[in-house]
Homo-oligomer: A and B are copies of this chain.
C-alpha cells in the first residue's frame, strides 16, 4: 500500500457513516502517527474534519504541537480551517488526492499555502487519484437517492 491508500481507507470509514468521505493521515519517518476521517455530523462539531483529527492524534503521539518533518496525505484539498491548521502545525509536505472547487484553500478557491505574507508555508504535491473523487461522487449519489 502507498500512503494515499491509508488516507482513502479513512475516507471510506466516513462514507460508511454517512459523512462526506474525506480521510487524512500524518506520516513521520515512514510511520503513520495520526489518522482521521470527517466526523462533523456524527460528533456535532464543525472542527471534526479529517485533517484536524489526524493532526491532534499526531501531536498527542509525539508530545509536541510542532509536526516538523511530517507529511500529510489527504484525499481532498483542505478547506481554509484545515489548511490553517496544517500551517499552524508546521507540517512540511502535503499530498492532496483531488481538488475542492467549493472551499479548497490550497489554490482552488483561495490560496493559503503559497502566501508569502503568512508566517509559514507547506510544500504541496498534487497527486490526483481517481479513487478520491469517486468516493465523493458515490457520497453525493447516495444523498440524492435518500
Contacts and interface: CB of A to CB of B under 8 A. Distances in A.
Interface of A: 40-41, 43-49, 52, 55-56, 59-60, 63-67, 79-85, 87-90, 102-103, 105, 109-110, 112, 115, 117-119
A82 B63 CA distance: 22
Contact of A59 (B44, B66, B84): B44
Given A109-B118, A110-B112, A118-B103, A44 B56 contact: no
A46 B80 contact: no
A47 B41 contact: no
Oligomeric state, in copies: 2
Contacts of A83: 80-81, 84
Nearest to A109: B117
List the 3 closest pairs (A to B, CB-CB), nearest first: A81-B84, A80-B84, A46-B88
A45 to B, nearest CB: 5
Given A49-B88, A80-B81, 18 more contacts: A44-B59, A44-B60, A44-B63, A45-B60, A46-B89, A47-B47, A79-B84, A80-B80, A80-B83, A80-B84, A80-B118, A81-B83, A81-B85, A102-B119, A103-B118, A103-B119, A109-B117, A110-B112
